[in-house]
Amino acid sequence: MGLLLLLAAPAVAARPYDEHVADPAATCPAAPETPGMVQVMGRARAFSQQVAMDLAREDAVQTMLSMHAAGFGDAAREAVRRNTVEVEGAGTWLRGVACVPMALRSSYLDYYVDKGKEFDSQIHALVAALSRDAVGRSVLVLPPTQVGSGAVSQLSDTIRNLLLGQIDPNDNIHIVDNWVPDALELQIQLSTVKEDVTGFVTLGEQSIGGLQFPLGLFNLTPGEANRGIPPGNLSGGGEPRRGTNGLKVYMAPPTPNGIACEGQVVDLVANTDRNARVRLYSVASDGRTYLLWPPDPRWVGVPAGLGPTADEVPRQLRLPGTTMVPTADGQAERLILVAVPAGGSLGAAERWRGYCEVRGGFSEALVPAGAAVSSTSFLVRPAEATGCVLSEAIEQDRLASAQAIVDQAMPCE
């Protein structure tokens, strides 16, 4: 099954345009000039007005990045992207061409660009420390711990993924997604107070550096991203919860940096440090929750070795060939892994099998006493986004495949 075709059907893709559609470069005017603002004009063409306008907005953002953030690190570029907004009421669509002016406050750009550079330097310093202290060792990067009332769950995964993305494979550091003998545990503790974030990073028992940056540096949506997900260490707002007798679980992100393109095929990997019974859930930004594992016993795709019900997992659960599909609202999704020791009870979810929707969303009721919990979030970018590819197959299957799975989402019972 695709991940997560189940959340909502995306908009129907536009038909391919042809030479009779006007040239965007000739049709759109130059971006207007406003004191204290940096403005750019986004241009795109398509037969669908909605698709054309969306593509023009993305074109404007890319123009802003290339003109004002070329050579900057990921954090600074994300600040520019996050704060580039559409000039209200100024967008037009005529003869298949969309023109959308977008703007960014000059002072805001300068502040976050500087803070982004500082953050990138902090990440590079941490990577240098890893290169010094973890050469030839296996390193398990744990989901960061968050403390403080202002914690935002996606921030944990963002920091972890940025750090992983900077590690050079030639440094002979072995990043593992399961506990192995003598592995060093890399832990990031984040403290968020209002708009300020402070982080402390340890490798094993040794401190290797810290982080300090404004929360606004990242494209997070407090209040939306966590809606329907309990706070604290249950679902990514803190350290993975250990279960009875120290049971450990780890839900790996679908891609190294937590970002995928529509249509990309990935493996979902969940690990336990011993045989365990597991339930895997997907949680959308609006709190809607779906059971992804275990499958219905009648499903022919149950991996070999898991038994007729696929209920007990021998240390690793791997779901290969999972197709990534963006949500309708474009927000991140969260995977939550709940496990109990072999023979234990999974409480309210004890008898659930097959793909189904959890009434009322994810809650503590799905985490029985003694359960271990781990989670990760990810974002699927639409095929039209820069760096992704819009294929004919995606255009044809978007609405049909997504709606087909939505219709199959019966309540869990």
pLDDT digits (tens, 9 = 90+) for 240-257: 577 777 888 888 888 766
Cα–Cα distances in Å, from 202 out to 79, 163, 221, 310? 27, 13, 28, 37
pLDDT at residue 233 in the model: 31
Question: Is the C-alpha dihedral spanning 394, 382, 223, 87 positive or negative?
Answer: negative
**d(Cα 23, Cα 44) in Å, to the nearest integer?**
9
Residue numbers in the chain where pLDDT is lower than 70: 1-26, 70-75, 143-154, 156-157, 177-180, 194, 216, 218-240, 256-257, 297-311, 329-330, 386, 399-408
Q: What's this model's pTM, rounded to 2 decimal places? A: 0.50
- In this structure, the number of other CB atoms found within 10 A of the CB of residue 404 comes to 13
Question: What's the mean per-residue pLDDT of the chain?
Answer: 75
Structural domains in the chain, CATH included, are 36-109 (3.30.1660), 221-413 (2.60.40.2550)
Q: What is the pLDDT of residue 234?
A: 33
pLDDT score at 100? 92
Q: Map 43-71 to HEC letters.
A: EEECCCHHHHHHHHHHHHHHHHHHHHCCC
- Cβ-based neighbours of 221, under 8 Å, separated by 6 or more: 285, 331
pLDDT number for residue 102: 92
Backbone φ, ψ for residue 38 (5° rounding): -105, 120
